[in-house]
Chains A and B, each alone.
Chain A
Amino acid sequence: MAKKTPAINSSSTADIAFLLLCYFLMTTTMGSHLGLNRRLPPMPDPSQKVEDQKINRRNIIVVKINSSDKIYAGTEAIDVTQLKDKIKEFLTNPANDPSLPEKEIQEIEGYSKGTYAVSKGVISLQNDRGTSYQAYIAVQNELVKAVNELRDDFCMREFGKKYNALDEDTQGVVRKCIPQNISEAEPKDVGKRR
């Protein structure tokens, strides 16, 4: 005759699971990998003759950070809080000022209106060897923020949604309409080394 098997006491499985849970709680680092994406310019070929890229003066804004973390946009000293508006004005050029970047009517694939006046503005970021990393990132952040806000404005106007709420293809169109042209210039050795 078959014996009745006693039920296995499962009350301790919770304890075991708790132990494991605590272990993973301690070791976990969630979503900690955040940052600002950038593309470095390729190294110029030494055999190639250095030729000046013909970028119109008005199309470029030079943002400089010196060794005491002072910021210059163009020629004037500027505070980091004002930088975003300065960049936005530079990229949009609402009054078609001849000293601000020109716009080029471009055909954009997938855009419902076909063409858009894309600004040819380029932001050139220069820094010193003595600039602190914190100030550098703060400036990078403001530049990205300026472009992101322009994209959001554009998206609200065109699609009635924020940039992040759009699908992948539309985002590509927006990226083409408002490009993020930030160039990190060749480093220059100015100021004292630290």
Chain B
Amino acid sequence: MSRFKNSGKKEMPGITSSSLSDIVFMLLFFFMVTTQMRDTEQKVKITTPEASEVVKLDRKDLNSYINIGSPTLAYQQMFGTEPRIQLNDSFRTTDEIRDFIAAERESKSEKDRSLMTVSIKADQDVRMGIITDVKQELRRCSALKIMYTARRPAK
């Protein structure tokens, strides 16, 4: 019976950590693929309204954003607290949307231009007046596909 008997004190083998890096790399790749860099600085404060029937945007690359909201604290001295429109990186007026849309259209490839979507990302406390102005301007530029950005309600 001595065959199975431990012969002397055995040392605990160390856990190999060589596969740890593989696991971490896998996570890393996942986040690298799903990540989307915030390319512009947010200059207006936006809390999007809640809506339960939201759908995902199918082509993120064909999307342009119009941000509407009151300026953040750092910009309130210069621009006040009235809701403003932010296009790309600066505060703009409704008249400048035309140029913005034209520039955005130009940057998309020929065949995708008709699929271009304009996301209206507005704070939930803004009044419809400014949004109506934006919508009218978009209609004038015939950028008719729009999306009202909203978020799922917290359960």
Q: Please report A residues at the B interface, Cβ cutoff 8 Å.
A: 10-11, 13-14, 17-18, 20-21, 24-25, 27-43, 127-134, 136-138, 140-141, 144-145, 148, 184, 187, 193-194
Question: Taking the complex as formed, is B72 at the interface, i.e. its CB lies under 8 A from any CB of chain A?
Answer: no
A35 and B127 form a contact (CB under 8 A): no
A40 and B139 form a contact (CB under 8 A): yes
With contacts A127-B128, A131-B128 taken as known, whether A36 is within 8 angstroms of B147 at the C-beta atoms is: yes
With contacts A21-B27, A42-B144, A43-B140 taken as known, whether A35 is within 8 angstroms of B36 at the C-beta atoms is: no
Question: Taking the complex as formed, is B51 at the interface, i.e. its CB lies under 8 A from any CB of chain A?
Answer: yes
B142 and A132 form a contact (CB under 8 A): no
B17 and A140 form a contact (CB under 8 A): no
- Of all chain A residues, which has the CB nearest B132? A187
Question: Taking the complex as formed, is B102 at the interface, i.e. its CB lies under 8 A from any CB of chain A?
Answer: no
Stretch of B5-13, B53-61, B91-99, B107-115 with 4 or more beta carbons under 8 angstroms from chain A = B53-61
State the 5 A-B residue pairs at the shortest beta-carbon distance, nearest first.
A129-B129, A24-B31, A34-B54, A141-B51, A134-B124
In whole angstroms, how far apart are the Cα atoms of A135 and B87 in the complex?
Answer: 24
| A140 proximity list for chain B (CB < 8 A) | 51, 148
Question: Taking the complex as formed, is B38 at the interface, i.e. its CB lies under 8 A from any CB of chain A?
Answer: yes
| B63 proximity list for chain A (CB < 8 A) | 33
Mark B24-37 against chain A: 1 for CB-CB distance below 8 A, else 0.
11011001101111
| A138 proximity list for chain B (CB < 8 A) | 49, 51
Q: How many residues of B contact A (CB 8 A)?
A: 53
B28 and A24 form a contact (CB under 8 A): yes
With contacts A24-B32, A144-B53 taken as known, whether A130 is within 8 angstroms of B149 at the C-beta atoms is: no
A137 and B124 form a contact (CB under 8 A): yes
B142 and A42 form a contact (CB under 8 A): yes
In whole angstroms, how far apart are the Cα atoms of A141 and B132 in the complex?
Answer: 18
Q: How far is the CB of A99 from chain B (nearest CB, A)?
A: 28
Total number of A-B contacts with CB less than 8 angstroms? Answer: 149
| B125 proximity list for chain A (CB < 8 A) | 132-134
In whole angstroms, how far apart are the Cα atoms of A184 and B139 in the complex?
Answer: 12
19 sampled A-B residue pairs with Cβ under 8 A: A17-B25, A17-B28, A18-B24, A21-B24, A21-B28, A21-B31, A24-B35, A36-B150, A37-B145, A38-B146, A40-B138, A40-B146, A42-B139, A43-B139, A131-B128, A132-B125, A133-B131, A138-B49, A145-B53
B127 and A28 form a contact (CB under 8 A): no
Q: How far is the CB of A162 from chain B (nearest CB, A)?
A: 14
Question: Taking the complex as formed, is B81 at the interface, i.e. its CB lies under 8 A from any CB of chain A?
Answer: no
A35 and B129 form a contact (CB under 8 A): no
B34 and A10 form a contact (CB under 8 A): no
Q: Of the candidates B34, B36, B129, B139, which one forms a contact with A194 in the assembled complex, judged by CB atoms under 8 Å apart?
A: B129
B132 and A34 form a contact (CB under 8 A): no
| A28 proximity list for chain B (CB < 8 A) | 31, 34-36
Q: How far is the CB of B142 from chain A (nearest CB, A)?
A: 6
| A137 proximity list for chain B (CB < 8 A) | 49-51, 124, 148, 150
